[in-house]
Amino acid sequence: MKQTITINDLDLISGKFILQLNSENPIKLTDHSIDVEFYLVKRINFICHGGKGIISSDLFGNTFSYSKEDFVEMFNNYLGDSKGTRYHRLLYAKELDVVFDWMKKRNY
């Protein structure tokens, strides 16, 4: 079931990783049937306060600054060409292991 956030939830999301998903095909990074590399490169972001209100950074350091209102709308209902067909969620603990392992391998 898709959950939504409000501006009041942003302090809870700051400092966390999120995953962008297609609403018709929700996945977990631990699924063996998906292209994990694609999701790591294109669909994982780290969230923090700053800039216009909220900053979203991909795993390569590319950052995007949003007002709090715009971030809430983007999190709940992706705003790009795929508007209405994507959403975001926090990563599960085992998914964080996948992300951190990938990040460690890229450092060495």
Nearest-angstrom CA–CA distance, 108 and 87: 33
The residue type of 61 is G
pLDDT at residue 87 in the model: 85
Candidates 44, 66, 63; CA nearest to 53 is: 66
Predicted confidence pLDDT, tens digits, the chain (108 residues): 466 899 999 999 999 999 998 877 789 999 999 999 999 999 999 999 998 999 999 999 999 999 999 999 888 887 667 666 788 999 999 999 999 999 999 887
Judged on CB neighbours under 10 Å (0-12, 13-18, 19+), 84 is: exposed
pLDDT at residue 85 in the model: 72
In the chain, what are the domain boundaries? Answer: 7-107
